[in-house]
Structure 1
Amino acid sequence: MRTSTPLLRSGPTVAAAAALALTLAGPAAAAGISVSTSGSTVSVTTSACTQVNGHWGTASLLGSGQTDVSQGRQAALSGTAAGQSAAWSNVGAGTYTVVVVCSNGNTAGTQAVVVSPAPSPSVTPTASPSRGVMGGLGGGSTDYGTLTLVAGGSLVGTGLLATAWYLRRRTKPGRL
């Protein structure tokens, strides 16, 4: 058996859900402020303020335990009628509240923001030498000519012959 719910009875439920969603969205969504983070920099943008006496207003970054706009780090809004912005750099990790107060005294919006801790630096392996290890004194290398190689080879050959002669002579009995 199938039960159907009349549209009239479900209408108030949908309206209540929509009202709850708008309430949870808070003044930031309604007023049009947008807060973002990039590393240790927090920035806010809005288009809700109007210029009064050459000033757009002030944005304040409140840390935990701070409840008044004057207690936080303040930054003047700058921009045009299309949009104003402010930013704070070197913000430590934690949860903050950004409050934008226009120069006419109206609060443009309030929004919470979480600043993540900076990632720890990672060590990347370096490439190994493509030609291997260079030998020599102090890591230097020298290209020897043909005459030097022949002279060195004859010295090594003479040394080998002298060693063989000496060992052969020692193995014969009665010789010193």
Structure 2
Amino acid sequence: MEAGRDRSLHSTNIAVIREVYDNEFSPACFSMELEKALESCCSIIVIEPTQLGDETARWISFGNYLHKMAVITGFTSIISGFAWPESFAPQAPLSIISTLCTGLYTASWQFDHCVKYQVERDIGKLSRLPILGALTVASPVVLVRKDDSKRKILHSVVTLAAASLCIYRLYRTMK
């Protein structure tokens, strides 16, 4: 990190990745700073570079989508198993989708540091951040560290229950 840059981890556990283009390798430096902030488990990360912020926000949104899809299809599979006990038609495909989404989420996000962060969009919460007054861009992406253990447990349990119920029903039908 160069001495002239104001990119740092603040004592308040907030990391700010400043949009300062002072050499041809600046975009790569932005990515490295984000990775460092993620690995440092900062409670808040402010990303000023637009491209990096947008890419990070999309990656987190896709993970959220997979999680929600796994939970919704899993619950729907379980409900359809009880609603139509004589038919696999709605239950099996929903259980498969839930399992695939959970598997993809687990494989793609298990070791990714971004999994612990959510994009903060609430203007009220953002306005209370002390560092936002010193930013150089109008709309940075703000990441907030959140505990994701309940989320992982939820979609894993729902998917496991949906798949187990589906397998059990298949076993009973074949018997």
Do both share a fold (TM > 0.5)? Answer: no
Counting strand residues as a fraction of each chain, which structure ranks higher? Answer: 1
Normalised by the size of structure 1, how large is the TM-score?
Answer: 0.22
Counting helix residues as a fraction of each chain, which structure ranks higher? Answer: 2
Normalised by the size of structure 2, how large is the TM-score?
Answer: 0.22
For the pair shown, the structure with the greater C-alpha radius of gyration is: 1
Tell me which of the two structures has the higher relative contact order, counting C-alpha pairs closer than 8 angstroms and 6 or more residues apart.
Answer: 2
